Amino acid sequence: MTQVAITLETDVASAFLKVKPQMRKKAETLVNLWLKNFFISKASAKKELFKTMDRVSAIAQANGLTPEIFEQIMLEIKQEMKNEKI
């Protein structure tokens, strides 16, 4: 692990410094997990989504789907959805 400094509100920093080392370690673990999710997991999920979309696109094109055919399919779906609302 690497130690970094972050700015906290005064009351949060004060509370953190007052707790026992065990509690501090738990808080550090929670912050680490939260930051990992915030910075890394979301980026990875987005990256995986785009990879999947690229694979689906390649498969569709390999099976003859053209932009024109796709547009027609989307128009048909839109029309069906419009008809279901009636």
**pTM for the structure as a whole:** 0.51
Evaluate whether 8 touches 15 at the Cβ level (below 8 Å): no
19 in a structural domain: yes
- Domain extent, residue 69, equals 10-85
pLDDT for position 5: 94
4 in a structural domain: no
Residue with tokens 């055919």: 69
Q: Structure tokens of 70? A: 């796709």
Q: Based on the structure, what is the number of domains in the chain?
A: 1
Q: How far apart are CA 58 and CA 55, in angstroms?
A: 5
| pLDDT per residue rounded down to tens, the chain (86 residues) | 899 999 999 999 999 999 999 999 999 999 998 888 888 887 788 888 898 999 999 999 999 999 899 889 889 988 888 887 65
